[in-house]
Structure formats: structure tokens, C-alpha cells
Structure 1
Amino acid sequence: MAMIALFNNQPILAYPLLGSSALFASSFFLGDRVEISSLIVLYTLYALMIYLVLTGGSHGTGPIWIFIVSPVTFFVRGFKRGIIDLIIFVICVTGAFYLSSYFKFYSGYSVYFPIRIIASFIIVALLSGFYEYFRQMYSHRLIELVQKNEYLATRDPLTNLPNRRYAMEELEQFEAQQQSASIIIADVDNFKDINDQYGHSVGDEVLKHLAELFVAQLSENDMVARWGGEEFLFFLRHKNKQQATQFANDIHHALSQNRLDIGVNQLAVTVSMGISKLTADVSIDKAMHKADELLYQAKEQGKNKTCV
């Protein structure tokens, strides 16, 4: 448009258009500062539109271009801030029409032309606003749904602990750092007998009771996950076998002090555990296999024990 204005010998229109183009282009050199560059584009557009209203643009068609402002505004600024910007823009455009007539910048507007342009712009802005409002509302709902699904995909629904998938992801990330940690696999003793004697609902309460107790014993950097069935996995970052053994002993002690209330009775719940070391030389599979072997060794030695 700037070049056309130059060829048509309209320097007053051409130079502002060239200046606006330069500002638009400058926004692309701001790198990752997306918000700043988008604001430069938007407010340069505002200034250009007001200039076109003041001068009439090419053959009085300049004000028609203001209709692109509302969708661009809502895209850049969002719904709430977009409304504020558009109200200010309408006031500026109204003033530009008045100043254009008062100072004779352009005398080709009819009496009703500014009123019709502004009224039409407000209607288009309202429609754009409705679209942006519902777009944001459904976008937020979709984001919340995706986040909820991502959370549920990594959580055990009964105990609300991380599930096996999440635990494996954490272990693999840690293994890639080639650091050391301790792994404990714990299995509920006599869990089948509990289900057979008291019912599966009590069995579920046992698992939830254990989950709460385990979480209470964890330090900030450690994790417990439901590994499957009545098995739990402890991932103790940067802890050696001695520290892991002390942690397991604390678990045994906490279980002895916190029985599960089932009606008028109290149920003593115990676990057997196996501890292994995860290092740069010991893979996850080897560490898990070792912990599993030690777990069943604890079972064979009478249960309610930890083997290292």
C-alpha cells in the first residue's frame, strides 16, 4: 500500500505506511519476547488506523480498515484487556473523525459516514468479543480436562499415590543422571487372608491406610508409588543402604503403632520389604530384580521383616 501511495504521488499517506511497516518488521527482531513484539504490532496498527481516519486514506477508504482491529486486539490481548483497549480505540477514532472534520484534514466524509463506521465497528467488536469469550472459556475447560487426564494417568485411583507408570518415568530420568539411590519394594503380609476374612472393602482400606502412613514417613525428595496389587515401591534419592534400612525400620515401627480400625476391632497390618541399590553400574531392572528377591527372602524368614 505504501508503494502504491508513492506511485500515486500521495507522500502524506505513503510515509506513515512505510513507518508502520518498519515498526511491524522490528517486532520480529525481538526474539522470544513475544508479548512485547505483539504489543508493538497491535499499537502500531492502532496508530495507523487513527491516521487513516484523520487523513481519509486513499480516496476516503481509510476508515474501512479499522474493522481488522477488533479480532487482532482480542487475539493479542485476550478478552478482558481487549475490551478495555477497544473502548479506548473507539474513543480515539471518534475523536479522529471530529478532528479530521474540524481541521479539514479530509473533507470527503458525509455527515452520517463516521456514525455508520463507528456503529458498524462496535457491532463487529461485540461479535468478536463473544467469539473470544467462548473461545477462552472452552479453551480453559479443555486445558483443565487435559491436565486432569494427565494427572489421573499417573495416579492410582484407590490410594492417590503415583502409579507404576509414573514411578518408572521418575526412575528412568534419575538413571539418566547416573546418580545413586535406594529402592525398596514392600508387600503387604497376609493380604489375601485379609480380603478373604474381612472382605475386599477392608482390603482397600488397608491399602489406603498404608499409603497415608508411607507418605507421612517420606522426606521431601523421596517417593512412594503403588507398584501393583498389594505391592509398593519406595524410591529414596541419594540414600545409601544404611539410610534405607533405617527408613524401613521406621515404617515397621509406625505400622506397629498405628493399627487400622475396622468397626469395633483393630487390625494389625505388617509389610515385608526388600532393599536394593540403584547406581550408575546397576540398571533399574537389576535393582528391581534384586529388591524383589530380597522381598521374598523376607517373606520366607517369617514376614514383617526387611532384607538388604
Structure 2
Amino acid sequence: MKTEDFDFELDEELIAQYPIKDRDQSRLLVMDKKSGNIEHKHFYDIIDYLNKDDVLILNDTRVIPARLFGNRPGKEEKIEVLLLKKKENNSWECLVKPGKKMKIDSTVEFGNGKLVGVVKEIEEDGSRIIEFKHDGIFEEILDELGNMPLPPYITAKLEDRERYQTVYSKNNGSAAAPTAGLHFTKELLEKIREKGVKTAFVTLHVGLGTFRPVKVDDVNDHIMHSEYYNISEEASNIINEGINKGANIVAVGTTSIRTIETVARDYGKVISTSGWTDIFIYPGFEFKIIDSLITNFHLPKSTLMMLVSAFSSKDNIMKAYNEAVKDKYRFFSFGDAMFIKKEDI
């Protein structure tokens, strides 16, 4: 299976640079998972596809202002550091630009020395392990000095940081938003609950994989980076109750589906647990729990394109994406949504 198989043409003008004014007014392409039949709706119509006792699984991770701009002591050039994964002893795995300037023992300062980082290790993939030194609370300093880590294809300035957070974000730790959830409003979620739909919150902190393109020709050669996840006892109980009732189990976003299917693969069922996952889902993967998927439109040749192709079929997904391009849907993080629904709802 080749990476090129998941490519498609996309005009740059279709890449959403700004979040839509009202979250739930985004467009929604609804596709039958098996037949590939397509309907065109708006996101607030998602409630029409959910029934009593169905389970909506949402990722409650919260994006940290993980992008820092600093300089080496006595140097004027700008050094960009993107925090990806917290390690031990005030250290983080980071992406650094320009990397060649930051060798082992190199120092970078932020906010006139309010925060100082020292490179301790250089990983095989080029990322750096940086140990940070500071006075005070790291999270408060980061909130003051850091910027939201918007993907590189978004070049417009984000006026309101909260628009890159879901309305139910809770647990700090992500380097990117679980973007399928950005379409929900508190009001829409309340209406969904009033209909008898259950909501289960899991956590997966989005990390390095989001920023790394697939560089190999053969999909099987791609290596995913690990991300931290947590499933509470409350969430596992809600999901299992839904499974036992034969309800529609709906993942909101690829992060939710990766969390649940990781645990199902490792334990044979959904349990309360936490850990690290590097699960790579591509065509041929056997889904054990998730019936339907709410997701955004993803980058060509990305692992996320491979995941949604596995959930339906590559032909169905390519057909849907081509129709979305033709119909001028908005793509990527701030773009429109897609609902891949089980065939009998």
C-alpha cells in the first residue's frame, strides 16, 4: 500500500484560515460507511443522526500555548521551540527551528530570560529534549510567553485562543486541537444529551504525529509517535453500557477513535486505564468498538486520511473528498466536518 494512494488535489483557497463565527454552522458532509452515499448538511444537523442511548465519545484534552520564540544568549536570530511531550525533570520533547543552531548544551532564552531552555539530547528524528529552568510556575510562564501551536498551513493570526479549544476542553497537554470537536457548542451538546444520547469523555494529548508528514513510500514503513491517553472508569462504564445495549458508538475525531481502539486491541474490551499509544490505523485494520465517526477533512497523504479510509473504504473516502473539493467545503483544522455513519442509522 503506497502513500501516494491517499493523495488528492486541493486548491489552497479551500484551506480554512479562520474559525467560522458560530461553531455549529459549519457544513457537514454525511457519508454512509458502507455504500458511500452522501448527504450535505450543517453541523447542527448531527443531532438528527443520534438516538437515545447512543454514545458520543469526545476527547477533552486542552491545547497548551506550546509554541515559544526566543534566542540564544547574545544572538539576535529567532529560535522557535514547539513543546510536544513532557518528560522528566522539567524536560520536554520539542521541535526546534532552525535545528542546526541548537546542538547539545545549546541554550535558548525566552521573555528576556524568564524561561531558559538547555538542549540535553537530540533524538534520531531530529527532535530535541530540552530542560527548562525558571522561577515560578511553569504553566503560568508558558501562558504568558507561549503562542497557540497552529498548524503551518494556517498563516492568519488567531484573535481568540479559545477558538482553537473545544468547549469541553479540560486536561492540559496537547500540542494541537482535536479539531472534530471544535464544531460543538455547549448548547448543541445539551440538546444532544436531552435526546438521551450519552457523552463519554476520554483524553488523548495530541503530539508529534500531527506535525510529521508520512515520508515513506510504503505505508507499512511509517512509524507513529506515541501519545498519552487516559480513559476514566466513568467513561468506560458509559461506553460499555452503550455496547451492551447495541447502541451506536460514535467517536468524535480520530484521537477518540485511536484511544478507544488502542484499549480494545490491548485488552479486548474498553476498560479504565491510561498509557501511551502509537497505534497506526490504515486500510485492513479491524475496528472493534467504534460504529460511526465525526471528523474533519484531512491533509493529503496523511495518517489521518489512512485512518478514515480504513473506517470506510479508500474509494468511498476519495469520492467524498472529491465531492467536498468540488462543492468548496472548507478543509483542515478550522474547516468543515464529515460524519461517517453506520449503515443502519
TM-score of Structure 1 vs Structure 2, range by shorter chain: under 0.3
Structure in which a larger fraction of residues adopt helix: 1
- When the two structures are superposed, what TM-score results if normalisation uses the length of structure 1? 0.21
Structure in which a larger fraction of residues adopt strand: 2
